């Protein structure tokens, strides 16, 4: 019977350990279909690695989100992903007898939680005693950045028993907790402070990693003490860093919106809508959750962000009107004698960059409806929608009048442009006007059939 040599086994084990989780699952399925004794041994290696990762995920569950960057890009406490398997391999040495308790662990507390907490304590000890062994690439983070250090990660591992009991209650703290539930949150912070002076801030960092909508974490921060919703108290505590991170992210997004405005593509405009909507959500949550003084540093930063976004949205709306007029232009036409009037230019291109730029801008204007309220631009947005609805409806109806009266040299081209006008009306959610234009266009098309 042929089998893997020790060198081959060591090499394959190293390759399997380096596989990402998704690739490991695919590798397991592929190896299971291969014939031969060597393939069977490889399948055992893959299975052991998959089981080991499942145990690690159970033991280190409260901290797992800390090993991947936030999807929204908000500054947060994040550790390098490669540190996680290294810490696990060191932490489980000598603890092999407890590892089977983690297999098929239930949600309720039991022996598996004792084993998990024991392994987390071992991980904290490894990070304190041999930090370079598990994190050889460590470089001290720059000033003002989240403290992603071995000592910080060790401190987070110290809090995993408390975090394990806190996470099931997180959804309640994010909504409308009653007095008893808020008291539970405050007791949790006190317990964390008993573990370490900055344990409260670390616990909020751990919980923050489990919350996708960053602004919602302000509700938890504001409930960590009876006066935490007051800026004077919060700004002088460890918890104030979370507000500062959100404001820094708002400022970065505002600058990104300014850079994107020059690109009139659909993707760029969708990014503008997403970024402005995110900033609106954060600032609105701050208004509701925190008592921020207008003349404070936080108040000035928030006000400046509002002013900048408001100005950018105003410019965006002006660009939208100009883009629509460029996509569906008018030209002066002689009526009788010296009498002229502006009429639709029915020889304009029915496709190309001007059409797509106008469509992208109109889509953005419609998508900014909620955010415009926060930034004080909803009246301007509503006025633009009314103006564009009138312009596009008038343009389409006059073009259709020309087709019906036989005054148009190329009726097919004119009807294509009318279809674009109906599309634009749909994009700005002027649905009744769009349906009216499409009905008239359908009637005109039917009348031209032989």
Q: Please compute the mean of the pLDDT values over residues 74-103 and round it to a whole number.
A: 92
> Per residue in 68-88, pLDDT tens?
999 999 999 999 999 999 999
Per-residue pLDDT at 200 exceeds 90: yes
> Per residue in 297-321, pLDDT tens?
999 999 999 999 999 999 999 999 9
**d(C-alpha 172, C-alpha 179), whole Å:** 12
Higher-scoring residue by pLDDT: 23, 384 = 384
Tally of CA atoms within 13 A in the half-sphere of 74 that contains its CB: 25
β-bridge pairing 330-336 and 339-344? antiparallel
Per-residue pLDDT at 21 exceeds 80: no
> Per residue in 273-284, pLDDT tens?
999 999 999 999
What residues have CB less than 8 Å from 290, skipping those under 6 apart? 218, 222, 229, 230, 231, 234, 243
> Per residue in 120-160, pLDDT tens?
999 999 999 999 999 999 999 888 889 999 999 999 999 99
Percentage of the chain modeled with pLDDT above 70: 90
Mean pLDDT of the chain: 88
Percentage of the chain modeled with pLDDT above 90: 59
Q: Please compute the mean of the pLDDT values over residues 48-60 and round it to a whole number.
A: 87
Per-residue pLDDT at 1 exceeds 70: no
> Per residue in 221-244, pLDDT tens?
988 887 766 777 787 788 889 999
> Per residue in 407-430, pLDDT tens?
888 888 999 999 999 999 999 999
**pTM value?**
0.84
Phi, psi of 413 (to 5 degrees): -65, -40
What integer pLDDT is reported at residue 449 of this predicted model? 66
Residue of 255, 258, 284, 271 lying closest to 363 (CA atoms): 271
Secondary-structure breakdown of the chain: helix, strand, coil percentages, each rounded to the nearest 5 = 70, 5, 25
């Amino acid at each position: 019977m042929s089998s893997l040599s020790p060198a081959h086994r060591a090499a394959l084990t190293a390759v399997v350990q380096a596989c990402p989780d998704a690739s490991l699952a695919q590798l397991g399925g592929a190896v299971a279909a291969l014939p031969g004794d060597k393939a069977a041994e490889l399948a055992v290696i893959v299975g052991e690695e998959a089981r080991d990762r499942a145990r690690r995920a159970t033991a280190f569950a409260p901290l797992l989100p800390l090993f991947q960057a936030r999807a929204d890009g908000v500054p947060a406490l994040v550790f390098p992903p490669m540190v996680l398997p290294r810490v696990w391999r060191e932490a489980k040495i000598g603890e092999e007898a407890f590892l089977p308790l983690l297999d098929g662990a239930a949600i309720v507390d039991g022996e598996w939680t004792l084993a998990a907490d024991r392994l987390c304590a071992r991980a904290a000890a490894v990070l304190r005693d041999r930090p370079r062994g598990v994190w050889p690439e460590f470089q001290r983070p720059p000033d003002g950045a989240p403290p992603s250090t071995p000592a910080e990660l060790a401190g987070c591992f110290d809090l995993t028993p408390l975090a394990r009991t806190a996470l099931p209650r997180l959804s309640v703290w994010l909504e409308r907790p009653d007095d008893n539930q808020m008291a539970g949150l405050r007791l949790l912070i006190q317990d964390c402070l008993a573990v370490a002076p900055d344990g409260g801030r670390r616990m909020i960092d751990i919980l923050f990693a489990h919350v996708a909508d960053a602004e919602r974490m302000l509700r938890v921060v504001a409930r960590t003490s009876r006066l935490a919703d007051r800026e004077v108290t919060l700004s002088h505590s460890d918890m104030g860093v979370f507000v500062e991170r959100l404001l820094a992210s708002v400022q970065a997004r505002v600058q990104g919106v300014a850079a994107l405005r020059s690109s009139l593509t659909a993707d760029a405009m969708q990014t503008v809508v997403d970024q402005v909507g995110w900033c609106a959500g954060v600032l609105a949550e701050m208004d509701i959750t925190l008592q921020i003084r207008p003349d404070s540093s936080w108040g000035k930063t928030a006000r400046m962000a509002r002013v900048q976004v408001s100005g950018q949205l105003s410019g965006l709306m002006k660009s939208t009107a100009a883009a629509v007029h460029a996509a569906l232009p008018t030209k002066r036409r002689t009526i009788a004698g010296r009498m002229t009037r502006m009429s639709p230019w029915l020889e304009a291109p029915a496709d190309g960059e001007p059409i797509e730029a106008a469509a992208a801008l109109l889509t953005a204007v419609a998508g900014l409806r909620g955010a415009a309220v926060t930034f004080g631009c909803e009246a301007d947005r509503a006025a633009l929608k009314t103006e564009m609805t009138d312009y596009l409806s008038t343009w389409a109806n006059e073009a259709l009048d020309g087709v019906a009266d036989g005054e148009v040299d190329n009726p097919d081209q004119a009807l294509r442009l009318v279809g674009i006008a109906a599309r634009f009306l749909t994009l700005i959610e002027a649905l009744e006007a769009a349906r009216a234009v499409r009905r008239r266009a359908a009637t005109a098309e039917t009348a031209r059939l032989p």
